């Protein structure tokens, strides 16, 4: 069965309506602050993901080196 994505379900009209509602709720001055916070959150998530990946690779290399010795 095909799983539709969120944007696949929403049409252009629905997206425009959602954007207008967000603009009315938060105002034009608050939206850049919200986007800045969202960007910081995404950046922190990606940094954490990279750190976890690096730690796993280092542990795997340590295990390989200890087996060779």
pTM of the complete model beyond 0.75: no
Over residues 46-68, the mean pLDDT reads 90
What is the per-residue pLDDT across 4-53, written as a single tens digit (0 to 9) for each?
Answer: 565 567 788 998 999 899 888 888 888 888 889 999 999 999 999 999 99
Q: How far is Cα of residue 63 from the mean position of the Cα atoms in its chain?
A: 31
- According to the model, what pLDDT value does residue 17 have? 93
Label residues 32-67 b or e (16+ Cβ within 10 Å = b).
eeeeeeeeeeeeeeeeeeeeeeeeeeeeeeeeeeee
């Amino acid at each position: 069965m095909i799983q539709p994505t969120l944007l696949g379900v929403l049409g252009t009209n629905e997206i425009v309506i959602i954007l207008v509602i967000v603009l009315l709720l938060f105002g034009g001055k608050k939206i850049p602050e919200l986007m800045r916070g969202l960007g910081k959150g995404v950046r922190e998530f990606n940094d954490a993901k990279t750190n976890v990946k690096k730690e796993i690779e280092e542990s795997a290399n340590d295990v390989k080196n200890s087996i060779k010795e």
